[in-house]
Structures are given as C-alpha cells and as structure tokens.
Amino acid sequence: MGKKNKKGTGDQLVFTTGTEGNSFFNHINLGGEKEEESSIDFGSRIRVSRDRKNRGGKTVTLVKGLDLSEDELTELCKKMKNKCGVGGAVKEDEIMIQGDQVKKVIEMLQKEGYTDVKQSGG
C-alpha cells in the first residue's frame, strides 16, 4: 500500500509551467513555513450578554470575544468588578460579572478603547 498524505504535512506537490514572477502558486503556503499573521482580526467582535442558564436562577453578565491573555483578562475583570461593585471571575476565555451589568460593562469597554462592543441577546 502507498503512503497517504495527511493534511498539513507539507508533502504536497504543486506543478506550474509559469515563470517565477507570474505564477499563481508562488503565493500558496503548503504548510512548510508559517505566514505572518495579520494584525487586523475581522472576526473579533466583543459580545456582552446576560445569562441565567445553569446558574440556579442567578443572573450574570458574560463578556466574550476578547482576544487577551489570561493575565490581561484577569486584570480587565478586576476593573469591571470594581466599576460595578460586584463579584466576578474569568472562566474559559470569558469574563463573568455577577448581576445584570450589561450597560455598565459596555460603557467601560468603550472607554477602555474597544470599538466593536455589542450587546448580544435581549
């Protein structure tokens, strides 16, 4: 039996008859080298929502979509808790603030410089 190519192994063969400067395939990365990541992330919208599911009827405000490290999330959570005067935590790359604090959290994030902050849900 022949050896099967697995996706992302870099063993793919690309054939082109064009010259080096005009070839379409010169711009394709086949898994050999990592390309530079763009500083613009078009999918990074920050969503602030209110949630009561699986929380014993208690309402929490969830902040999702922040592309920050764990330490930065913890620091931002601390600022939000101080602003709202309630408790909260960071869990699985999202910030949970106790109570219905959606408007305060959105205002705070906009003052911190986040531009694409939207309320999610009702």
pLDDT single digits (tens) 48-82: 999 999 888 899 999 999 988 999 999 999 999 99
Whether residue 115 is predicted with pLDDT greater than 80 in this model: the reply is: yes
For residues 102 and 19, the model is more confident at 102
Task: Tell me the pLDDT band of 121, cut-offs 50, 70 and 90.
Answer: confident
The total of other beta-carbon atoms located within 10 Å of residue 77's CB is 21
Which residues lie below 8 Å from residue 64, measured CB to CB, with a gap of 6+?
46, 47, 48, 49, 93, 94, 120
Output the pTM of the full model: 0.62
What count of Cα atoms within 13 Å lies in the side-chain half-sphere of residue 37?
4
pLDDT, average across residues 27-55: 65
Domains (ranges, CATH) in the chain?
46-120 (3.30.780.10)
As a residue count, the chain comes to 122
DSSP the chain: -PPPPPTTSS-------S-TTT-GGGG---SSSPPPPPS--TT--EEEEEE-TTTTT--EEEEE-----HHHHHHHHHHHHHHHTS-EEEETTEEEEESS-HHHHHHHHHHTT---EEEE--
Percent of the chain with pLDDT over 70: 63
> Amino acid identity, residue 92?
E
Average pLDDT, the chain: 78
